[in-house]
Structure 1
Amino acid sequence: MAVYYTEQDLLAHAEGRTASSAADALSKLEKSAIGGFDVFLSHSVRDARFILGLRNWLRKQGLSVYVDWIEDPQLDRTQVSSATAARLREQMHVSRTMIYATSRAARESRWMPWELGYFDGLRSAGRISILPIESSAKYDKFVGQEYLGLYKVIEKVEVSRYGTTEPYAVLPSGLRGEPIRSFARSEGRYEDLERR
């Protein structure tokens, strides 16, 4: 059975900050990501409080993360414009991987499907992973829009050799995956997964 990260898991990493209060301080730190980002985080701005927690959690994993409203607050994601599209393309070109944070709010996003399609054409599908933001952690299998089934899904995986639960980007078959840091750094260090 797959175990996903929940809204509460992500909020726990937001460290009590609101998205607006943390944006300036975090942006200064992220600007040190010379040569680009490990992760381009595609998401709905309506999920900002969860995304802030997700970003903090990924940064604790040692990863650099692009979040548009932190790095490029001048962008207006409420309107589709050529200037915003050009800036997002630039940032995708300097990002190794994409994490597509899907949620109820994401289904209404104007930008997310476009970002996914552009990044898929830019990089191989193996460099994209879906992170379902759910209210409950356990599911038999993630079910989202049909096209999301083409990509890896980030799950909590029990790693018996360490006796811990770790984040893995799991292949659609569910039988193999790679640790989140390996995925985000494009290392391709896959492991067979023991499923219960």
Structure 2
Amino acid sequence: MAISISDLRAAGTRAHRTTVLKSLNEALARSKPTAFLCHSHKDNDLAEGLQVLLAENGWDLYIDWKDHEMPEKPSRETADKIKKKIGGLDWFLFLATPNSSASRWCPWEIGIADTRKSHDKILIIPTSDSSGTWYGNEYLQLYNQIDTAQGGGLARFPAGQTSGGTYVRNLR
């Protein structure tokens, strides 16, 4: 299974107050799970939809382009800040879409996460289009994933499985 792109777009239109984590101390003070979102900037609407879905489940999701402290154009400073955020937040999420699969930054970011996070703290969010086509490269299937649970809501599933998941709201 995969989360449909249309469901992510619809979630992005729902009114839900989301905030940008500006510091690790701010994130820790909230006592909520925090996550860095790896995604293509061509999928900003999908990223916002995912942010709403996760906020509804008690998570704070960091999206780099919403961070006013990020440089306007990619640079060494951008890379350093991204590395720090990936290492400092609880989880690393990879939004698998056609655009993220073609991105030059996304594979670099998951490579950074792979060296700084335990394997169980890296989660792939597979997506599908209206025809049911699943998006993501083979190496993404090595990681646990977030998907829609059979009873509704989001859950984490072991790599390659669609049952035996843990609801996202219960993860820490």
Normalised TM-score (structure 2): 0.82
Cα separation, 2, equivalents of 1:137 and 1:59: 28
- 1:71 aligned to 2:67? yes
Q: Which residue of 2 aligns with 1:172?
A: 159
SS of the equivalent of 1:176 reads coil
**Deviation (angstroms), 1:179:** 1.4
- Label 1:66 to 1:143 Cα distance change in 2 as closer, same or farther (>3 A): closer
- 1:108 aligned to 2:102? yes
Q: Which residue of 1 aligns with 2:7?
A: 9
- Label 1:73 to 1:51 Cα distance change in 2 as closer, same or farther (>3 A): farther
Structure 2 runs not aligned, ≥5 long: none
Whether contact under 8 Å (1:26, 1:70) holds in the other structure is no
- 1:181 aligned to 2:161? no
**Deviation (angstroms), 1:76:** 4.3
Cα separation, 1, equivalents of 2:57 and 2:105: 27
Cα separation, 2, equivalents of 1:86 and 1:148: 24
Cα separation, 1, equivalents of 2:117 and 2:165: 18
Letter in 2 for 1:34: A
Q: Which residue of 2 aligns with 1:120?
A: 114
- Label 1:173 to 1:8 Cα distance change in 2 as closer, same or farther (>3 A): closer
The count of residues paired between Structure 1 and Structure 2 equals 166
Structure 1 runs not aligned, ≥5 long: 159-163, 186-196
SS of the equivalent of 1:39 reads strand
**Deviation (angstroms), 1:102:** 1.0
Letter in 1 for 2:146: I
